[in-house]
Amino acid sequence: MSYLTSTEALQLETPPDHLVIVGSGYIAAELAHFFGTFGSDVSIIGRRPTLPPEADDEVGQAFIDRYADRFTVHTGHAATAVSQQDGEITVEAIPYEYGDDPGLVDGADPVTVTGDELLVAAGRVSKADTPNLAATAVETDEQGFVETEGDEVRVIFDGAGTQWIPRLEDENSDYHELYQAVRASTSVRDFCAGAFGVEDAVADAGIVTLDDHDGHPSIRSLVADNYEIITF
C-alpha cells in the first residue's frame, strides 16, 4: 500500500488530483490548505472531533466550518480500512466517540473516500532522545540538555501555534513560567494571528508581530543572519 508522510508530500513535483488525508492535527490542516491552494481536491478523515486538536470549541468549530467550505471533512471518524486499485486509494472510516468509554460507534455507517494519493498525518514519535551527541560538537549539561549559553534564540509562533499566546499569558498555565523565560525573544506571524482569531490577544500581550511579506516573516533574512531554523 503506497502512502505519503509529510516529508514525501512536500517532495511531490505535481499536486495530486484528489488528496486523502488521514489525521486531524496541525500538519494535516496545514497540508490540506497547501495542496488545496494548488488545486487539489482534499478530503480529511480525523478521529478527533475538532480540527485542529486542542482548539477551543468556538475556534475549532469555526475552523471546521471554513475548511468544510473548501474540502470534504470527516472529523470524529477513525480510518479502519484502506484499499488500492487501478491507481486509486480508498479509505473507509467509522464514527469514533471519546469520553469514558472511547471507541468506534457500534452499528454506525462507515464513510468511504477515494483519491489518487493518501497522506498519513496521524502523528510521529519523537526521536529526540536517540542522537549520539557525544560524537558531535554539541555540548550538554549534567541533565543532558543542550548548552545554549551565548546563543541568540528567537521564538516565532506560527500557524495554529499562535493560539498558544493567550494560554501562555495565563499565570495558571503549566507552561507560563517557561514562556516567561523566553517571552522577550518571542514574536508571532502576523497573518496567522489574524487567521486564528488571536490578533487582539497578541496585541494585548504586547508581543511583536512579523509581517515582512504580506503578514509573514522572512525566513531568508533569518538564515542570512546565521540563525539555524528549528521547527516544532
Residue 139 has what pLDDT? 72
Residue 92 has what pLDDT? 97
Residue 147 has what pLDDT? 67
Q: Which CATH class is domain 6-120?
A: alpha beta
pLDDT tens for residues 77-126?
A: 999 999 999 999 999 999 999 888 889 999 999 999 999 999 999 877 65
Residue 210 has pLDDT above 80, yes or no: yes
Phi, psi of 73, rounded to the nearest 5 degrees: -120, 125
Q: Give the residue-averaged pLDDT of 175-183.
A: 88
Judge if pTM exceeds 0.85.
no
Residue 144 has what pLDDT? 65
Give the end-to-end CA distance of the chain in Å, rounded to a whole number: 29
The region of weakest confidence among 13-27, 133-147, 168-182 is 133-147
- Domain-by-domain residue ranges, the chain? 6-120, 147-224
Residue 131 has what pLDDT? 64
